[in-house]
Amino acid sequence: MALSTGTDEIVSGAEGPDEKSEEAPSSKNLAGRSPTQIALERLRKDKVALVCSAILLVLVLLAVFAPLICDWLNIYVDYSNPDAPRPSEVLGPDNYPIIGPPDHGFIWSHPLGIEPRTGYDNLAYILYGLRTSLMVAVLATAFSTVVGVTLGLIAGYARGWVDSALSFFIDFFLSFPFILGALALAPIITQRFGGSSDSLARAQLLSIVGVLVFFGWMGLARLIRGQVLSLREREFVQAAQVIGVPTRQVLFKELLPNLVAPIVVAVSLSLPGYVAAEAGLSYLGIGLTESPSLGRMVNNATNYFENYPLYLWSPVIVIMIMVIALNLVGDSIRDAFDPKTRR
């Protein structure tokens, strides 16, 4: 475990041999480097991490530029554009598209086909769904990290009743049934913010982030608390306490920099979890109904699988690629930060 205080670059005994064995032949410079630098160095050499990061970058770009791409391809995710086709123009009476797959072969104007019932373009819907997925995952990760790290730091450092209370609080939340909570919240949100579909869309987005954070910060908080429990007994912390460094400074200047590694790992592994959770909740109909969502698309498409497999496969594959890429990158980051990993 790295013991550096962040600014001073001290390489610990545990870190030493590891680093030497890997770095010595290529580098003459034996000056200390921060664990983060070492980790990044390792990541650069990890092909899986590089490929997955590239995939993620593409997905993020697709999501960010979804409106431009859709404009350019003339595909639409709602009816607001006068050129957007209406259901009766592109769907037959039995709700299957009358142009493009599954009955009429590939067409360039709708590369992934048309959604039954709404007549939306599947590619456009996926691009916007990707947008929603990533936004929800990033927001949920950011908030749950802040909450988890703060409470974990306090609980681990405080000792006594504060620690007991916070630990109980964490356990209490961990024992809360997540799906049940989400199920109960969905209708309340609709009722409370049901003024118009616009405000509802915003409320749903925030509420799904809220639900994910509400039930997602405990793992990180526990992890951080455990780390702090061992760190606070170390000499540099005790030294800081002895010379009268204020508690706030001890927490954020002495302890936090040493927690960068576990935090980065936790973040990189929670992102795919949240992507999957958003899709799952929307699949159950308790997530997003007003904005495009990959989970909702999967749910809608299951009934059509037999005759229109493309409709189901496309969102499933996108979710799969995104979650696998995020997970692999997360794994690589964990390996890179973990001194015990040998390769």
Q: How far is the CB of 149 from another protein (least distance, A)?
A: 35
CB atoms inside a 10 Å sphere around CB 331: 17
d(CA 216, CA 213): 5
- One character per residue 299-328, x = contact with another protein (rule: CB under 8 A): -x-xxx-xxx--------------------
Told to check if 17 binds another protein by CB under 8 A, we report no
Phi, psi of 121 (to 5 degrees): -80, 135
Output 27 or 197, the one with its CB closest to another protein: 197
Q: DSSP label at 121?
A: B
**Among candidate residues 316, 55, 205, 275, the one with its CA nearest the CA of residue 197:** 205
What would the two tokens of residue 187 be? 């209708």
Nearest approach, Cβ of 179 to another protein (angstroms)? 16
* Residue number with CB closer to another protein (195 or 244): 195
CB of 286 closer than 8 Å to CB of 183? yes
Dist CA 184 CA 136 (whole Å): 20
Of 230-249, binders to another protein (CB under 8 A) are none
Q: Which is nearer to another protein, 216 or 287 (CB)?
A: 287
From residue 83 to residue 112, the character string flagging contacts with another protein as x (rule: CB under 8 A) and all else as - is ---xxx--x-xxxx----------------
Asked whether the beta carbons of 141 and 271 are under 8 A apart, the reply is yes
Contact at 8 Å (CB) between 140 and 216?
yes
Residue 71 touching another protein (CB under 8 A) = no
Q: Let me know: does 240 contact 248? Beta carbons within 8 Å.
A: no
User: What SS3 state is found at 97?
Assistant: strand
Closest to 260 in 3D by CA, of 145, 93, 164: 145
Phi, psi of 97 (to 5 degrees): -60, 140
- Binding of another protein by 79 (CB under 8 A): yes
Chain-centroid distance of CA 205 in Å reads 15
Q: How far is the CB of 196 from another protein (least distance, A)?
A: 6
By CB under 8 A, tell whether 177 contacts another protein. no
Q: What number of chain residues touch another protein (CB under 8 A)?
A: 34
**Smallest distance from another protein to CB 190, Å:** 5
> Among residues 94 and 233, whose Cβ is nearest to another protein?
94
Burial of 44 (0-12, 13-18, 19+ CB in 10 A): exposed
CB nearer to another protein: pick between 240 and 281? 281
Q: Which of 32, 289, 313, 338 binds another protein (CB under 8 A)?
A: 289
Task: Fill in the per-residue mask, 185 to 204: x = in contact with another protein (CB under 8 A), - = not in contact.
Answer: -xx--xx--xxxx--x----
- Which residues of this chain interact with another protein, rule CB under 8 A? 78-80, 86-88, 91, 93-96, 116-119, 186-187, 190-191, 194-197, 200, 285, 289-290, 300, 302-304, 306-308
